[in-house]
A and B are shown apart, each in its own frame.
Chain A
Amino acid sequence: MRLEPIANPTALRQAGLPLLALAATVVAGSLLALVAGADPFATLGLIVKGAAGSKFAALETLNRATPLIFTGLAVAVAFRARLWNIGAEAQLYAGAIVTVILGTGAIGSPMVLPVTVLAAMLAGALVLLGPVLLKTRLGVDEVVTTLLLNFIMLLFVGYLLEGPMKDPMGMGWPKSAALVKEARLPRIVTGLRLHWGFALALIAAVAVWLIQTRTTLGYEMRAVGQNIRAARFAGIPVNRVLVKTALLSGGLAALAGYSEVAGLKGHLTKDISPGFGYTGIIVAMLALLHPLGVIVSALFVAGIFVGADSMSRAAGVPTYIADMLLALALLFMVLAILLTRFRVVRG
């Protein structure tokens, strides 16, 4: 077999194949439910119901989507420039740490909110800066360095929570002190369990979209990602663009940590992220790296997680079905995207 480029793919092909990928994921989900001895339709129904069947469920999904929008944007920005940032998890925790440091009384109101946001972004950006400088200066592959930094960062968080940042009132639990009230992100509507972090995520997505389509930096990032050789030849400062991309990407990932601490939890524990950084890769790929698409795919991914949790309690199918489905959706989707542009021919 051989791949042959399609000069002008039809709209049907461009829209149909990604939908087919999602349909294949649904089929896979049904099969997995069958394997687990449950009724496939009931299982899928329970997932949908658990994700959006009630006000509580929908709010839960929105809350879960918030950090995923941030990490999804972080990955989308980086991947667009062919910068393989697999370290959103570490950058997320960097943002969370800074949020706790500044939010537990170091800065008085009312400056605490904006300062903390910026400082958290800066911390995340710096965490990614190291691997990117190693890449541009020494040619060290950033995939492995960012991956390894995730483990180092998690150990560092563990050290902080058992040592200098440990909450003296925490009854021995490894958790930080709680944020002061002024440092907390308020709820959007009083009484509804949804904080301003979600709105911040939407703003971030629009901002990233504007940067990518309307600014010279966005143009440079896309040029570097599409063809680094042509970009360099044309005079685009490739290394500087990669560094700027890294700062933006790391900053976005850090906002996930910020909003989880300042919006949802109010303090830092080792498990504030159940792999949001890694899941961000799925979110970004399902969105075809489009910043506004990230919002939709983050809602979808969050819905699967929240829905699977509730389904698992009711139907007894292990909750890891959500992770499996999302991994499958990722693989189906990259194949579908390829097939929108190439056809498989014999010989």
Chain B
Amino acid sequence: MTPAPAEAREVVLRLDGITKRFGALTANDAITLALHRGEVVALLGENGAGKTTLMNILFGHYTADAGTVTAFGRPLPPGNPRAALAAGIGMVHQHFTLADNLSVLDNIRLGTESLWRPGAGLAAARAKVAALSRDFGLAVHADAKVASLSVGERQRVEILKALYRDARILILDEPTAVLTPQEADALFATLRRACARGLSVVFISHKLHEVMAIADRCVVLRHGRVAGEVDTHATDAAALAALMVGGAVSPPDATPGVAGPVLLRLANVSTTPEGEAVGLRAVDLSLHAGQITGLAGVSGNGQAALADLMSGLIRPSAGRMEVAGAPPKGWSPRRAVAAGIARIPEDRHKTGTIADFTLTENAILECYDRPGFARRGWMDWRRAEAFTRGIIARYDIRCPGPQARIRLLSGGNMQKLILGRVLEPGPRIILANQPVRGLDIGAISYVHGRLLAARDAGAAVLLVSEDLDEVLQLSDVIHVMSEGRLSPPFARGTMGAADLGLWMAGQGFAGGADAA
């Protein structure tokens, strides 16, 4: 299908000169963007480039300091979430906005009927949802509780929610972050159907290949400004990447590591699933000294359980775990640290640091009661501060000083403090769980450099990431996780993204994808 030239079609949404400042930071700087009927425009940019702020302004969650939003020729009043919805704009957030305790149908109906009239339109609502899911290929069970749905199904509910409100413009924020490549293809098919019916789509992403696959046009944001606007048919991924980061990108120089002895071994290990989270199912894993082992997989397939296990938060319910050749005696976060495991947690704000603690107090979180920092229950704050000053210097942390509260630091500097905290003792095993999520390019290459250096110094590194490109770039060995199972190890260079994608979707595991 060759679409008519975009310029010839009606403009359905126009953002004009949008500017938003947060204190000293200019999150959006005079951003202008036009969306035509029936097209997919990608909004491409790194984390922190201003994509989310722009969408929050469009949706009235924030008020812009300058600029206007026009939908279907009519200006949208600022700061009014209802106005965007009423104008036919539907948003699928990166973090789903569904209430787990309600049914699919109730989630879709929420907010569409007057609050003060008893629900008379239930049958009509049910019929409309059925028709929409048929027309757009979005199969879901209307009476199922959202709590029981898979991530892919939840995303379908989100899209249905927008369509149910007769959205003519769909905005999707990082929609594929939680999908397998194959599920993403199904999503793209739905989006193409929607466009053929005259809907328009804004597709927010930082993944180049997806943008190339689905978008007609691409608007690239960098540091809050429009860095360029290109027709995807007239460009390539390298050019887009250059626009995105402001220069040619060089992949990190990851020479292969030299495998040493096994430092951590899981044999047939399972864990008990907690709530909706997936547990491990008979996992075999060996982490070798001097190697980075990459763990790929769609988020929520048991990576969290593996990370919790290595962090000492949970224990195996079955199977055998060996650290440095022997099963550990007792298992807790404290034992994990004592066993020489450096743990870089997934969420540095909620798990990795204590926001209102100073840098010093955060730096000693794992060693505050060790000799040198404490004696007979009394803290030695001078030693703790000296230790922190050392980390600040060696890890190039930009901060007012060791007495500053850590919540004032940028994500990159926060992560560097965590790196310092866990790497200073010279760990033998490193668990790096999404270590660069949300960081800017500079911080990413710093973190990757540190991990590679630790590997070359003989540490066994487990890199857990939802970003397949990151896993492929850094890993000496790659495993894939799906529904709590772990694939066999694949050596560097033997598997491409598409092959891994099949494993991510659950194919290739013994017993097939549906085995429970």
Contact = CB atoms under 8 A, between A and B. Distances in A.
Interface of A: 4-5, 7-8, 214-220, 222-223, 226-227, 229-237, 346-347
A232 B312 CA distance: 10
B351 A226 contact: no
Interface string B344-366: 01000011111111000100011
Q: What is the interface of chain A mostly: helix, strand, loop, or mixed?
A: helix
Given A216-B374, A226-B355, 4 more contacts: A215-B377, A230-B365, A232-B313, A233-B333
B356 A226 contact: yes
Interface in B475-498: none
13 contacts: A8-B408, A214-B379, A215-B377, A215-B378, A216-B378, A216-B379, A219-B361, A219-B379, A223-B365, A227-B354, A229-B351, A232-B333, A233-B345
Contacts of B22: 4
Contacts of A222: 357
Interface in B77-92: 78-79
Nearest to B22: A4
Contact of B63 (A7, A217, A220, A347): A347
Contacts of B205: none
B350 A230 contact: yes
A215 B332 contact: no
B396 to A, nearest CB: 21
Nearest to A223: B354
Interface string B317-353: 0000000000000001110110000010100001111
B311 interface: yes
A230 B312 contact: no
Q: Looking at chain B, what size class is its interface with the partner chain?
A: 35 or more
Smallest CB-CB A-B distances: 9 pairs: A347-B63, A235-B334, A235-B333, A234-B365, A347-B79, A227-B354, A216-B369, A226-B354, A233-B351
Nearest to A233: B351
Contacts of A8: 408
A231 B368 CA distance: 12
B23 interface: yes
Interface string B8-49: 000000000000001100000000000000000000000000
Given A226-B356, A227-B355, A346-B63, A216 B377 contact: yes
Nearest to B336: A235
Contact of B333 (A214, A219, A234): A234
A342 to B, nearest CB: 12
A100 B302 CA distance: 58
B253 to A, nearest CB: 32
B354 A231 contact: yes
Contacts of B407: 5
Interface string B259-285: 000000000000000000000000000
Contacts of B352: 230, 233
Contacts of B378: 214-216
B62 A347 contact: yes
B306 to A, nearest CB: 15
Contacts of B313: 232-233
Given A214-B378, A216-B379, A7 B23 contact: yes
Contacts of B332: 235
B201 to A, nearest CB: 27
A227 B63 contact: no
Contacts of B374: 216
B455 to A, nearest CB: 23
A235 B351 CA distance: 11
Contact of A237 (B63, B79, B334): B334
Contact of A216 (B62, B337, B368): B368
Contacts of A236: 365
B418 to A, nearest CB: 11
A234 B366 contact: yes
Interface in B395-421: 407-408
B391 to A, nearest CB: 15
Given A230-B365, A347-B79, A217 B354 contact: no
A215 B379 contact: yes
A220, A223, A231, A234 pick with most chain B CB within 10 angstroms: A234
B350 A229 contact: yes
Nearest to A5: B407
A211 to B, nearest CB: 9
A222 B365 CA distance: 12
Interface string B279-322: 00000000000000000000000000000000111000000000
A238 to B, nearest CB: 10
Contact of B357 (A216, A220, A223, A237): A223
